[in-house]
A and B are shown apart, each in its own frame.
Chain A
Amino acid sequence: MACVPAELIPLKILVAGGFGVGKTTLVRAVSEIPPLLTEETMTAASEGVDDTAAVPDKRTTTVAMDFGRITVDDTLVVYLFGTPGQHRFWFMWDELARGCVGAVVLVDLRRIDDSFAAVDYFESRRVPFVIGVNDFPDTGVHDEEAVRDALALAADVPVVRMDARSADSGIRVLVTLVEHALARAEARRAPAYGAATPM
Protein backbone atom coordinates (compact mmCIF):
# COMPACT_ATOMS: atom_id res chain seq x y z
CA MET A 1 0.00 0.00 0.00
CA ALA A 2 1.26 3.43 -0.90
CA CYS A 3 2.50 5.63 1.87
CA VAL A 4 0.13 8.57 2.10
CA PRO A 5 1.17 11.79 3.76
CA ALA A 6 -1.14 12.83 6.55
CA GLU A 7 -1.90 16.16 4.99
CA LEU A 8 -2.60 15.86 1.29
CA ILE A 9 -3.87 19.08 -0.22
CA PRO A 10 -5.32 19.10 -3.71
CA LEU A 11 -5.61 22.54 -5.27
CA LYS A 12 -7.10 23.64 -8.56
CA ILE A 13 -6.44 26.33 -11.11
CA LEU A 14 -8.78 27.08 -13.99
CA VAL A 15 -7.73 27.92 -17.52
CA ALA A 16 -10.47 29.79 -19.34
CA GLY A 17 -10.99 31.85 -22.46
CA GLY A 18 -12.67 31.69 -25.83
CA PHE A 19 -12.71 28.78 -28.24
CA GLY A 20 -9.33 28.01 -29.77
CA VAL A 21 -7.43 30.48 -27.61
CA GLY A 22 -4.93 27.88 -26.36
CA LYS A 23 -6.44 26.42 -23.18
CA THR A 24 -5.58 22.83 -24.05
CA THR A 25 -2.13 23.91 -25.21
CA LEU A 26 -1.37 25.63 -21.92
CA VAL A 27 -2.60 22.70 -19.82
CA ARG A 28 -0.47 20.37 -21.92
CA ALA A 29 2.63 22.59 -21.63
CA VAL A 30 2.71 22.74 -17.83
CA SER A 31 1.18 19.37 -16.88
CA GLU A 32 3.36 16.48 -15.72
CA ILE A 33 0.82 14.01 -17.11
CA PRO A 34 -0.55 13.96 -20.65
CA PRO A 35 -3.68 16.08 -20.46
CA LEU A 36 -6.69 13.90 -20.02
CA LEU A 37 -10.09 14.54 -21.35
CA THR A 38 -13.01 13.97 -19.09
CA GLU A 39 -16.63 14.85 -19.26
CA GLU A 40 -19.26 16.21 -16.98
CA THR A 41 -22.93 15.57 -17.51
CA MET A 42 -25.80 17.94 -17.05
CA THR A 43 -27.71 15.30 -15.13
CA ALA A 44 -24.94 15.15 -12.56
CA ALA A 45 -24.12 18.79 -12.32
CA SER A 46 -27.27 20.75 -12.97
CA GLU A 47 -29.66 19.36 -10.41
CA GLY A 48 -30.68 22.23 -8.24
CA VAL A 49 -29.85 24.62 -11.01
CA ASP A 50 -32.76 23.38 -13.06
CA ASP A 51 -31.87 25.38 -16.09
CA THR A 52 -31.82 23.00 -19.00
CA ALA A 53 -33.13 25.88 -21.08
CA ALA A 54 -29.55 27.13 -21.08
CA VAL A 55 -28.61 24.13 -23.18
CA PRO A 56 -30.20 24.45 -26.58
CA ASP A 57 -30.16 20.76 -27.42
CA LYS A 58 -30.93 18.46 -24.55
CA ARG A 59 -28.96 15.65 -26.14
CA THR A 60 -25.72 17.59 -25.89
CA THR A 61 -25.51 17.08 -22.17
CA THR A 62 -21.88 16.10 -21.87
CA VAL A 63 -19.09 18.60 -21.80
CA ALA A 64 -15.50 17.68 -22.47
CA MET A 65 -12.88 19.22 -20.25
CA ASP A 66 -9.08 19.00 -20.25
CA PHE A 67 -7.17 18.57 -17.09
CA GLY A 68 -3.55 18.29 -16.08
CA ARG A 69 -1.55 17.98 -12.89
CA ILE A 70 1.48 19.60 -11.23
CA THR A 71 2.89 17.95 -8.12
CA VAL A 72 4.30 20.90 -6.19
CA ASP A 73 5.77 19.11 -3.16
CA ASP A 74 5.09 16.15 -0.87
CA THR A 75 1.60 17.24 0.00
CA LEU A 76 0.56 19.89 -2.52
CA VAL A 77 -0.78 18.91 -5.92
CA VAL A 78 -2.40 21.30 -8.38
CA TYR A 79 -5.01 20.22 -10.88
CA LEU A 80 -5.45 22.40 -13.93
CA PHE A 81 -8.77 22.52 -15.70
CA GLY A 82 -9.26 23.86 -19.20
CA THR A 83 -12.90 24.81 -19.32
CA PRO A 84 -15.22 25.77 -22.13
CA GLY A 85 -15.77 29.50 -22.06
CA GLN A 86 -19.35 29.87 -23.20
CA HIS A 87 -22.11 31.03 -20.87
CA ARG A 88 -24.00 27.81 -21.25
CA PHE A 89 -21.26 25.92 -19.45
CA TRP A 90 -21.34 28.07 -16.34
CA PHE A 91 -23.12 25.35 -14.42
CA MET A 92 -19.78 23.53 -14.61
CA TRP A 93 -17.73 26.54 -13.66
CA ASP A 94 -19.59 26.98 -10.40
CA GLU A 95 -18.29 23.63 -9.23
CA LEU A 96 -14.82 24.19 -10.64
CA ALA A 97 -14.49 27.67 -9.20
CA ARG A 98 -15.50 26.68 -5.67
CA GLY A 99 -12.38 26.82 -3.52
CA CYS A 100 -10.01 27.26 -6.45
CA VAL A 101 -6.70 29.11 -6.30
CA GLY A 102 -7.72 31.23 -9.25
CA ALA A 103 -7.92 31.33 -13.01
CA VAL A 104 -5.84 32.16 -16.05
CA VAL A 105 -8.01 33.83 -18.67
CA LEU A 106 -6.35 33.42 -22.04
CA VAL A 107 -6.81 36.15 -24.62
CA ASP A 108 -6.23 36.14 -28.35
CA LEU A 109 -5.59 39.77 -29.36
CA ARG A 110 -7.48 39.21 -32.60
CA ARG A 111 -10.57 38.19 -30.64
CA ILE A 112 -10.34 39.89 -27.27
CA ASP A 113 -14.10 39.96 -26.78
CA ASP A 114 -14.24 36.16 -26.75
CA SER A 115 -12.69 36.23 -23.30
CA PHE A 116 -15.09 38.76 -21.81
CA ALA A 117 -17.55 36.14 -20.52
CA ALA A 118 -14.78 34.50 -18.49
CA VAL A 119 -13.57 37.82 -17.06
CA ASP A 120 -17.12 38.75 -16.15
CA TYR A 121 -17.66 35.40 -14.46
CA PHE A 122 -14.55 35.51 -12.28
CA GLU A 123 -15.10 39.19 -11.39
CA SER A 124 -18.62 38.49 -10.20
CA ARG A 125 -17.56 35.50 -8.09
CA ARG A 126 -14.48 37.25 -6.72
CA VAL A 127 -12.18 34.55 -8.06
CA PRO A 128 -8.60 35.84 -8.49
CA PHE A 129 -7.53 35.78 -12.14
CA VAL A 130 -4.81 36.95 -14.46
CA ILE A 131 -4.98 37.67 -18.16
CA GLY A 132 -2.62 35.64 -20.32
CA VAL A 133 -2.28 37.23 -23.75
CA ASN A 134 -1.39 34.27 -25.89
CA ASP A 135 1.31 35.12 -28.38
CA PHE A 136 -0.01 34.00 -31.73
CA PRO A 137 2.42 34.74 -34.60
CA ASP A 138 0.34 37.40 -36.31
CA THR A 139 -1.17 39.20 -33.35
CA GLY A 140 1.09 42.21 -33.62
CA VAL A 141 2.15 44.56 -30.87
CA HIS A 142 0.97 43.89 -27.35
CA ASP A 143 -1.10 46.82 -26.27
CA GLU A 144 -1.87 46.19 -22.63
CA GLU A 145 -4.13 49.21 -22.35
CA ALA A 146 -6.26 48.01 -25.24
CA VAL A 147 -6.70 44.66 -23.47
CA ARG A 148 -7.56 46.37 -20.20
CA ASP A 149 -10.08 48.63 -21.88
CA ALA A 150 -11.70 45.89 -23.94
CA LEU A 151 -12.12 43.62 -20.94
CA ALA A 152 -12.91 46.40 -18.44
CA LEU A 153 -10.25 45.05 -16.10
CA ALA A 154 -9.75 46.25 -12.55
CA ALA A 155 -6.40 47.98 -12.07
CA ASP A 156 -4.93 45.17 -9.95
CA VAL A 157 -5.57 42.38 -12.48
CA PRO A 158 -2.20 41.34 -13.95
CA VAL A 159 -1.88 41.17 -17.73
CA VAL A 160 0.93 38.92 -18.96
CA ARG A 161 2.07 38.23 -22.48
CA MET A 162 2.81 34.54 -22.86
CA ASP A 163 3.31 31.58 -25.14
CA ALA A 164 0.85 28.82 -24.24
CA ARG A 165 3.12 26.23 -25.89
CA SER A 166 6.01 26.94 -23.52
CA ALA A 167 6.23 25.26 -20.11
CA ASP A 168 8.42 28.08 -18.75
CA SER A 169 6.03 30.71 -19.98
CA GLY A 170 3.06 28.77 -18.60
CA ILE A 171 4.66 28.38 -15.18
CA ARG A 172 5.47 32.11 -15.12
CA VAL A 173 1.80 32.89 -15.68
CA LEU A 174 0.84 30.52 -12.87
CA VAL A 175 3.38 32.22 -10.57
CA THR A 176 1.83 35.60 -11.42
CA LEU A 177 -1.61 34.19 -10.66
CA VAL A 178 -0.60 32.75 -7.30
CA GLU A 179 1.19 36.00 -6.33
CA HIS A 180 -2.03 37.84 -7.12
CA ALA A 181 -4.19 35.32 -5.24
CA LEU A 182 -1.84 35.45 -2.23
CA ALA A 183 -1.92 39.25 -2.13
CA ARG A 184 -5.71 39.18 -2.19
CA ALA A 185 -5.95 36.47 0.46
CA GLU A 186 -3.61 38.40 2.76
CA ALA A 187 -5.53 41.62 2.20
CA ARG A 188 -8.73 39.80 3.09
CA ARG A 189 -7.24 38.41 6.28
CA ALA A 190 -5.49 41.49 7.53
CA PRO A 191 -7.80 44.18 8.81
CA ALA A 192 -7.17 47.26 6.71
CA TYR A 193 -5.73 49.60 9.33
CA GLY A 194 -6.97 53.08 8.86
CA ALA A 195 -9.59 52.01 6.37
CA ALA A 196 -12.36 53.21 8.65
CA THR A 197 -10.54 56.44 9.44
CA PRO A 198 -11.18 59.38 7.17
CA MET A 199 -7.97 60.56 5.55
Chain B
Amino acid sequence: MTDDPRQGGRVVPVYAVTGGRTRAGDHDLPIEAVVTATAADSGLDDLQPEYRAILDLAHNPVALVEVAAGLGVPIGVARVLVSDLAEAGHIAVHTPEYTDGPPPQVLARLLDGLRAR
Protein backbone atom coordinates (compact mmCIF):
# COMPACT_ATOMS: atom_id res chain seq x y z
CA MET B 1 0.00 0.00 0.00
CA THR B 2 2.79 2.41 0.82
CA ASP B 3 5.40 1.18 -1.63
CA ASP B 4 4.33 3.78 -4.16
CA PRO B 5 7.49 5.72 -5.04
CA ARG B 6 5.47 8.92 -5.37
CA GLN B 7 5.06 8.85 -1.62
CA GLY B 8 8.79 8.85 -1.06
CA GLY B 9 9.79 11.01 1.86
CA ARG B 10 6.62 10.29 3.78
CA VAL B 11 7.58 8.48 6.98
CA VAL B 12 4.11 7.74 8.25
CA PRO B 13 1.63 6.21 5.80
CA VAL B 14 -1.18 8.64 5.05
CA TYR B 15 -3.67 6.04 6.15
CA ALA B 16 -2.13 6.27 9.62
CA VAL B 17 -3.09 9.93 9.72
CA THR B 18 -6.67 9.10 8.84
CA GLY B 19 -6.72 6.22 11.31
CA GLY B 20 -7.24 3.81 8.42
CA ARG B 21 -10.38 5.60 7.30
CA THR B 22 -10.97 6.01 3.61
CA ARG B 23 -14.52 7.23 3.96
CA ALA B 24 -15.54 10.50 5.51
CA GLY B 25 -18.81 9.74 7.21
CA ASP B 26 -22.22 9.40 5.71
CA HIS B 27 -21.97 11.56 2.67
CA ASP B 28 -18.86 12.20 0.66
CA LEU B 29 -17.68 15.66 -0.20
CA PRO B 30 -17.67 16.11 -3.95
CA ILE B 31 -14.25 16.32 -5.55
CA GLU B 32 -14.82 19.97 -6.51
CA ALA B 33 -16.04 21.09 -3.06
CA VAL B 34 -14.18 24.28 -2.13
CA VAL B 35 -12.85 24.76 1.38
CA THR B 36 -11.70 27.91 3.15
CA ALA B 37 -9.96 28.28 6.51
CA THR B 38 -12.11 29.88 9.18
CA ALA B 39 -10.82 32.50 11.57
CA ALA B 40 -10.62 30.14 14.54
CA ASP B 41 -6.88 29.93 15.13
CA SER B 42 -6.98 28.36 18.57
CA GLY B 43 -5.81 24.81 19.11
CA LEU B 44 -4.03 24.59 15.77
CA ASP B 45 -0.64 23.80 17.33
CA ASP B 46 -1.86 20.37 18.32
CA LEU B 47 -2.85 19.44 14.79
CA GLN B 48 -0.92 16.89 12.77
CA PRO B 49 1.21 18.30 9.94
CA GLU B 50 -1.24 17.13 7.26
CA TYR B 51 -4.06 19.09 8.85
CA ARG B 52 -1.90 22.19 9.16
CA ALA B 53 -0.86 21.85 5.53
CA ILE B 54 -4.52 21.85 4.52
CA LEU B 55 -5.22 24.94 6.60
CA ASP B 56 -2.30 26.68 4.91
CA LEU B 57 -3.71 25.80 1.49
CA ALA B 58 -7.20 26.89 2.54
CA HIS B 59 -6.20 30.48 3.30
CA ASN B 60 -7.45 31.00 -0.22
CA PRO B 61 -10.42 29.02 -1.52
CA VAL B 62 -9.17 25.62 -2.64
CA ALA B 63 -10.98 22.56 -3.98
CA LEU B 64 -10.79 19.12 -2.41
CA VAL B 65 -9.00 17.88 -5.51
CA GLU B 66 -6.39 20.64 -5.11
CA VAL B 67 -5.88 19.68 -1.48
CA ALA B 68 -5.21 16.10 -2.57
CA ALA B 69 -2.70 17.19 -5.20
CA GLY B 70 -1.08 19.69 -2.84
CA LEU B 71 -0.54 17.08 -0.15
CA GLY B 72 0.31 14.32 -2.59
CA VAL B 73 -2.36 12.02 -1.23
CA PRO B 74 -5.27 10.22 -2.91
CA ILE B 75 -8.57 12.07 -2.98
CA GLY B 76 -10.16 9.63 -0.55
CA VAL B 77 -7.55 10.49 2.06
CA ALA B 78 -7.86 14.25 1.47
CA ARG B 79 -11.61 13.88 1.83
CA VAL B 80 -11.27 12.30 5.29
CA LEU B 81 -8.81 14.95 6.49
CA VAL B 82 -10.89 17.83 5.13
CA SER B 83 -14.03 16.41 6.73
CA ASP B 84 -12.22 16.18 10.08
CA LEU B 85 -11.23 19.83 9.84
CA ALA B 86 -14.76 20.84 8.86
CA GLU B 87 -16.21 18.95 11.82
CA ALA B 88 -13.73 20.68 14.13
CA GLY B 89 -14.81 24.05 12.70
CA HIS B 90 -11.40 24.92 11.26
CA ILE B 91 -12.61 25.15 7.68
CA ALA B 92 -15.81 26.02 5.88
CA VAL B 93 -16.99 23.87 2.99
CA HIS B 94 -18.68 25.34 -0.07
CA THR B 95 -20.52 22.83 -2.17
CA PRO B 96 -23.57 23.47 -4.31
CA GLU B 97 -24.59 19.79 -4.46
CA TYR B 98 -26.37 19.96 -7.78
CA THR B 99 -27.68 16.50 -8.47
CA ASP B 100 -29.05 17.33 -11.90
CA GLY B 101 -26.40 19.81 -13.01
CA PRO B 102 -26.31 23.55 -12.29
CA PRO B 103 -29.54 25.56 -12.74
CA PRO B 104 -30.02 27.82 -15.80
CA GLN B 105 -29.10 31.06 -14.02
CA VAL B 106 -25.73 29.63 -12.96
CA LEU B 107 -25.08 28.27 -16.46
CA ALA B 108 -25.96 31.67 -17.94
CA ARG B 109 -23.38 33.37 -15.71
CA LEU B 110 -20.83 30.73 -16.64
CA LEU B 111 -21.56 31.33 -20.31
CA ASP B 112 -21.12 35.11 -19.95
CA GLY B 113 -17.84 34.60 -18.12
CA LEU B 114 -16.43 32.20 -20.71
CA ARG B 115 -17.52 34.39 -23.65
CA ALA B 116 -15.72 37.36 -22.08
CA ARG B 117 -12.40 35.54 -22.12
Contacts and interface: CB of A to CB of B under 8 A. Distances in A.
Contacts of B74: 38-41, 44, 62
B86 interface: no
A99 B107 CA distance: 12
Given A9-B96, A40-B75, A100-B101, A72 B109 contact: yes
Nearest to B67: A38
B37 interface: yes
Interface stretch (A18-26, A106-114, A177-185): A177-185
Contact of A99 (B77, B79, B101): B101
Given A76-B109, A182-B107, A62 B4 contact: yes
Contact of B75 (A4, A39, A178, A185): A39
Interface residues of B, number: 48
A64 to B, nearest CB: 10
B88 to A, nearest CB: 17
A178 B107 contact: yes
Contacts of A37: 69
Contacts of B109: 72-73, 76
The 9 residue pairs across chains A and B that have the minimum distance between CB atoms? A44-B76, A72-B113, A99-B98, A36-B69, A8-B94, A182-B107, A10-B32, A41-B74, A38-B69
Given A8-B36, A72-B113, A76-B106, 15 more contacts: A8-B34, A10-B34, A10-B95, A12-B31, A43-B22, A44-B74, A47-B23, A69-B63, A72-B109, A78-B110, A79-B63, A81-B31, A95-B28, A102-B101, A182-B107
